[in-house]
């Protein structure tokens, strides 16, 4: 029978009616987890500088909802997430450290 899997298509949840969802998914590669304290903002600035030095998209999502932060398993902020994986938490990484992490994740 040729009924199953005949018309498999891939699209977003709204049937490709939106462009903003696609852009957000492409740009939400790096996330900073934290409530907005000085350390969280410094980590975000360092991550942006690292992305700029590597010539990558500088879109960074800052997650401030503590329930969502806890869902990542992070208790001590700030935290850094790359491609959905927590790569650091509890300290402010230097720009050079973030560059090294991003290059390792790229491979």
pLDDT per residue over 46-73, tens digit each?
999 999 999 988 889 999 999 999 999 9
Q: Please, what are the domains in the chain?
A: 30-106 (3.40.30.10)
Q: What is the pTM of this model?
A: 0.71
Cα separation, 64 vs 32, whole angstroms: 9
Catalytic residue among 12, 18, 26, 37: 37
Is 40 one of the annotated active-site residues of the chain? yes
Structure tokens at 27: 């740009």
What pLDDT is stored for residue 23 in this prediction? 37
Is 37 marked active-site? yes
- Looking at residues 65-91, what average pLDDT do you find? 94
Tokens describing residue 95: 């720009």
Over residues 9-46, the pLDDT tens digits come to 554 444 444 444 433 344 348 999 999 899 999 999 99
d(CA 77, CA 88): 9
Give the pLDDT score at 98.
94
Longest dimension (CA), the chain: 61
């Amino acid at each position: 029978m040729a009924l199953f899997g005949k018309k498999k298509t891939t699209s977003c949840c709204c049937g490709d009616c939106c462009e903003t969802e696609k852009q957000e998914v492409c740009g939400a590669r790096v996330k900073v987890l934290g409530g907005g304290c000085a350390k969280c903002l410094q980590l975000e600035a360092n991550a942006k500088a690292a992305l700029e030095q590597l010539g990558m998209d500088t879109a960074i999502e800052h997650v401030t909802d503590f329930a969502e932060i806890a869902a990542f398993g992070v208790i001590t902020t700030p935290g850094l997430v790359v491609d959905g994986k927590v790569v650091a938490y509890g300290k402010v990484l230097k720009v050079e450290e973030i560059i090294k992490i991003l290059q390792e994740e790229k491979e």
